[in-house]
Amino acid sequence: MPEAPRPSPRNAIGSLVLIAAVVAVAAAAFAYTGGWFSPQRLTPQKLVDGFDLGSAPPLGHRRNHAKGICFTGMFESNGAGSELSRAQVFAKGQYPVVGRFNLATADANAEDAKVRVRGLGLMISTPDGQEWRMAMIDPPFFAVSTPEAFHELQIASASKEPDAMAKFVGANPEFAAFGGWAKSAPWTGSYAEEPYNGLNSFIFTDNSGNDHAVRWSLTPAAQPVPVPPEELAKRGPNFLETEITDRIKNGPARWTMRVTVANPGDQTADPSKAWPEDRRSVEVGALIVQQIEPEADGPCRDINFDPAVLPNGIRTSDDPFPAARSSAYRVSYDRRTAEEKDYPRTATGAAQ
């Protein structure tokens, strides 16, 4: 047997200790990166758990905006958006969409008249193989300034302590404006009469490579008719879904998409602060909803309307929400797709 110049036993022990130390440091660095030593870190799992603090999770459903109904249709671009973004979606033309009307609740069986915030998820596909996904809501500004504040709101809302919400509003005064909207904004009897606002700011890049900070919104073509919520409650727990299904059977519903451009110096990081009314806005096209399908078997069911799925020509800004939403939507998607058996398909799809 050839005998290599092996170290003495004492040196060998030193070497073994060194090897163990190298492996331990590498493993610790990995654990640190994964947050095992940082219990304070706001993780997407915590954000998603936050929706279940007050009640059992809606197994098989989205963890927030759990109740919804699918639609398909098209985005009809008028070409005006090309001035702001080189994304193909703004070139004049028609592009197919899959979307979802929904209610901002963690209860998949919520009564429609009891949920204040309504939303719309949308995915627009273009021939270049790219997609623009978004999830919008009907208030004109967001409830809080940061993802951390949102998590505190989740905790305060679920808290049994009587002054939890008062303390929260004290620490996050921007929430008062949202509370004001929730109290005073009229309710309507249809998803088709709601505006849907993107709220988060993004950066559009035009063909010359110039950046524009923007927000976007959808304005309904249907005239909103205010109806008191007590009146809506009499229409049944699913009146919004029944109404939109019947409405679209008689013809498509339309929304105008407007892109609002920030002035230099406008803050872009805080979606709880609307930009002044006089900012330039460009009408870029229309969303046309042509068909409604129940969610259980519908095309929106297994789509994640992840607001960070953006075509070339649109990217995120310093607004921290799209990243936080993207990471949390991902966790919600991972959970609900693993619970498929808890949300059975209706098989025929014709039951409704």
Return residues touching other proteins (CB under 8 A). 1-7, 12, 15-16, 18-20, 22-23, 26-27, 29-30, 33-35, 41-44, 47, 128-131, 147, 302-304, 306, 308-309, 311-312, 316, 318, 320, 322-324, 326-328, 333-334, 337-338, 340
Inter-CA distances, 99 with 62, 137, 186, 350, Å = 14, 13, 24, 19
Q: Least CB distance from residue 89 to other proteins, whole Å? A: 13
Residue 143 CB neighbour total at 10 angstroms: 22
Q: Which is nearer to other proteins, 69 or 87 (CB)?
A: 87
Q: Least CB distance from residue 268 to other proteins, whole Å? A: 13
Q: Which is nearer to other proteins, 245 or 326 (CB)?
A: 326
Residue 32 tokens, joined: 């640190």
Provide the CB-side half-sphere exposure for 274 (13 A, CA): 15
Q: Least CB distance from residue 346 to other proteins, whole Å? A: 16
Q: Which is nearer to other proteins, 129 or 264 (CB)?
A: 129
Query: DSSP character for 208?
Result: T
Query: Is the alpha carbon torsion for 34, 38, 42, 48 positive or negative?
Result: positive
Residue 327: closest CA among 40, 42, 52: 42
Q: Which is nearer to other proteins, 30 or 170 (CB)?
A: 30
Query: DSSP character for 224?
Result: P
Q: Which is nearer to other proteins, 94 or 337 (CB)?
A: 337
Q: Least CB distance from residue 304 to other proteins, whole Å? A: 7
Q: Which is nearer to other proteins, 85 or 188 (CB)?
A: 85
Instruction: Please name the residue that has the structure tokens 């058996």.
Output: 341
Q: Least CB distance from residue 114 to other proteins, whole Å? A: 28
Q: Least CB distance from residue 184 to other proteins, whole Å? A: 31
8 A C-beta contact, residue 138 and residue 101: no
Element (H, E) at 321: helix 321-338
What angle, rounded to 10 degrees, do the helices at 175-184 and 164-171 form? 120
Residue 348 tokens, joined: 């025929």
Pairing of strands 253-261, 314-316: unpaired
Residue 253 CB neighbour total at 10 angstroms: 22
Q: Which is nearer to other proteins, 216 or 333 (CB)?
A: 333
Q: Least CB distance from residue 20 to other proteins, whole Å? A: 8
Return the HEC string of 30-94: HHHHCCCCCCCCCCHHHHHHHCCCCCCCCCCCCCCCCEEEEEEEEEEECCHHHHCCCCHHHCCEE
Q: Which is nearer to other proteins, 4 or 350 (CB)?
A: 4
Q: Least CB distance from residue 31 to other proteins, whole Å? A: 8
